[in-house]
Amino acid sequence: MLLLTLSAAGKWAGNRPVVFFWLPFGAGVLLLAAFAFDVVTVKFGLHPVERVPRRRDDLDAFGLMRARRSCRSFQSRPLSDADREELMRAVREHTRPERLVGTHPIRLEYLAAPLTVWPTVGAHEFIVAIAPREYDRLSVIDVGRSLHKVVLHATRMGLATCWIGPGADPSSIAAHLGSRFDPSAEHVICVCAVGYRSRFKPLAVRLIELPQRRRLPLASLFFADPRFHTSLATDSPPFSAFRRCYQACRSAPSSFNDQTSRCVGVRNDDGKGLPRFDFYTTTESRYYAPVGLGIWCATWEAGCGALGIPGHLQVLSPEARGVREASVLPRYDVSWIADVPAAS
C-alpha cells in the first residue's frame, strides 16, 4: 500500500513518471498480488493437492546432511501411520541411555497439536525435546545430538523438519502434552516440527530465509589451539581426512543461525594416528548453545561413520586435554576420540 501511495504522489507531482510512478506502482501491484496469492494458497489452502515426497534411501550420510533444509511451510496432510511409527522407532533408538553422552535420561515426545510457532507455517506435528528440570549441560547437549539424529533419519524418510527454539511457547507445549509432562521435574528444551514439505510458502517467510543461509568460513570455526588464535589446517594431514565433516558441521542448523559451536583439532603426542577433536561453545547460553553443539556432535559422528572412522564422545578433564587453566569462554564441553583398533 505504501508503494501505491508513493506512485499516486509521483503521478500528482508529474516529474519523472517512470521513477516516481511506474516503478512504485508496478512493485506495489506485484506485492499485492503476491499477498493475495499467499492468502489463497497458504491461509485457505486452495491449491492443487501436493504429493508425498519420496524417500532418500539412495543418499549417504553426507548427502542427507546436504539435502536437509529447514522447512518453513508444511502440507496439511498428517504423517501416515507407517511414517509416524518409523519416526518413533528412530526416537526410541537414539534416546536409549547407553547412546547418550550424559548420565540423565532425556525424552523426545511426539505431539500433534495446533501450536503457534514462528516463522514456520502449517506445522501441526512436532517432536518435543524434554530434559530433567534440574539443569545438566550434558543433558541439553544430548537433546541436540539425539534429536538431530532423528532429524537426519526423517530426512532419509523424505520428511521435512524445522528446529524451533525461541519461536515456540513452552507453556502451550506443556498444556498440550498434558499428563505426559511433569513441569516440576522436567523442562521443555525445544521442539522440532515434522511433516511433509509444501511448495506454497509466504513471500515474507522466503525473505526471512535469505540471511539464514549464510555461514562462517571454516577458518572461523575450526582451530588448532583452545584460545582460537590459529585456524586449523583442514587441508593438511592428519586433519584433511575429516574435510567433509568440517563442511557438514559448517552447514549444520543453529539457533538464529548464530553458529556458536567451535572445534579444536589436537595432534597425538607421538604424531601418529588420528587426531582428537575438542568441541567448544562461544557464548554463555545455557540452552541454545549446548543444543547447537549437540547438533554438531551428531553431524560429526554421522560424517565419521560415513568415512569409516570409528570414534566416541567423551568429556575430558583439563589435565587430559593438556590445558593448564580452563577458561570461561570459549567453554569446553566434549571431545571426539578415534577408537583404537583392538590388537589381533
Span 325-335, pLDDT tens digits? 767 899 999 99
Q: Give the model's pLDDT for residue 116.
A: 82
Residue 158, Cβ density class (10 Å: 0-12 exposed, 13-18 middle, ≥19 buried) = middle
Q: Give the model's pLDDT for residue 4.
A: 44
289: in domain: yes
Does 284 share its domain with 314?
A: yes
Does 198 share its domain with 221?
A: no
Per-residue pLDDT averaged across 106-133, rounded?
93
173: in domain: yes
Does 279 share its domain with 317?
A: yes
Does 31 share its domain with 89?
A: no
Q: Give the model's pLDDT for residue 273.
A: 77
**220: CATH:** 3.40.109.10
The pLDDT confidence band at residue 239, using thresholds 50, 70 and 90, is very high
Does 252 share its domain with 153?
A: no
Q: Give the model's pLDDT for residue 170.
A: 84
Does 92 share its domain with 186?
A: yes
The pLDDT confidence band at residue 98, using thresholds 50, 70 and 90, is very high
Per-residue pLDDT averaged across 230-252, rounded?
97
Cα–Cα distance for residue pair 144/101, rounded to 1 Å: 11
120: in domain: yes
Higher pLDDT, 181 or 340: 181
31: in domain: yes
The pLDDT confidence band at residue 198, using thresholds 50, 70 and 90, is very high
Q: Give the model's pLDDT for residue 34.
A: 55
Q: What is the DSSP letter of 245?
A: H
Q: Give the model's pLDDT for residue 269.
A: 73
pLDDT of 12 strictly over 70: no
Does 174 share its domain with 228?
A: no
Tell me the three cell numbers of residue 59.
543418499
Q: Give the model's pLDDT for residue 200.
A: 79
pLDDT of 293 strictly over 60: yes
Residue 319 neighbours by CB under 8 Å, 6+ apart = none
Largest CA distance in the chain: 89
330: in domain: yes
Residues 37-87 have pLDDT tens digits of 455 555 555 557 789 999 999 999 999 999 999 999 999 999 999 999 999
The pLDDT confidence band at residue 343, using thresholds 50, 70 and 90, is very low
343: in domain: no
Cα torsion for 30, 33, 37, 43, to the nearest 10°?
110
Strand order in the sheet with 261-266: 222-223, 261-266, 276-281, 331-338, 311-314
pLDDT of 297 strictly over 60: yes
Residues 104-113 have pLDDT tens digits of 999 999 999 9
SS3 287: coil
135: in domain: yes
Structurally, the chain folds into a number of domains equal to 3
Does 108 share its domain with 154?
A: yes
Give the domain range for residue 191.
Answer: 61-203
